Amino acid sequence: MDIPRKLGILIYTAVPAIIGGGIVFHFFDGSWVPVIIYEILLFLAALGFVSS
């Protein structure tokens, strides 16, 4: 997989990180811990997808 494709995938995952983080923040009544967990899991999924 070439570099532009990897960067495109990482940019594509930024949208779920921003919107999903806001949704998680709302559903857990303003707690940052679930948001951080969500962001870490999303990052690991993106990293696994890019590294393959």
Domain ranges for the chain = 3-51
Q: Can you spell out the DSSP letters for 9-48? A: HHHHTHHHHHHHHHHHHHHTTT-HHHHHHHHHHHHHHHHH
Q: pTM of the predicted model, to two decimals?
A: 0.77
pLDDT of residue 30: 93
At residue 1, the 3 state secondary structure works out as coil
pLDDT of residue 24: 96
Residue stretches of the chain with pLDDT short of 50: none
pLDDT of residue 11: 83
Per the prediction, the chain carries an average pLDDT of 89
pLDDT of residue 37: 96
Separation between Cα atoms, residue 4 and residue 33, nearest integer Å: 32
C-beta of residue 35 within 8 angstroms of C-beta of residue 24: yes
